[in-house]
Amino acid sequence: MVKLRLKRCGRKQRATAVYRIVAIDVRSRREGKDLRKVGFYDPMKNQTYLNVPAILYFLERGAQPTGTVQNLLKKAEVFKELPSN
């Protein structure tokens, strides 16, 4: 099963962590090998970049977003672009 979740990157041991939004296998650890990078999130600057076509591709094939990623996608109104079945 594939999940859309946050992967920490940037400088270590700092409060200024930034995150990549990645599609990753459920069994992988947080810093494990991802299938594809689909976005970027900086909580300090409140910046978000989303590759919407890639996110929709994974969601249509059954990927489950984590809670935080789901909140980011709701804010960006990505679920409105998802075709309903």
Domains of the chain: 1-79 (3.30.1320.10)
pTM: 0.84
Start-to-end C-alpha separation, the chain: 20
- Helix ranges, the chain (H): 52-60, 67-75
* d(C-alpha 25, C-alpha 49), whole Å: 22
AA identity, residue 77:
E
* d(C-alpha 16, C-alpha 37), whole Å: 20
pLDDT (tens digit, 9 = 90+) per residue, 37-49? Answer: 999 999 888 899 9
DSSP secondary structure code for residue 76 in this structure: T
Is 62 in contact with 1 (CB distance < 8 Å)?
Answer: yes
pLDDT (tens digit, 9 = 90+) per residue, 6-57? Answer: 988 877 766 778 899 999 998 877 677 889 999 999 988 889 999 999 999 9
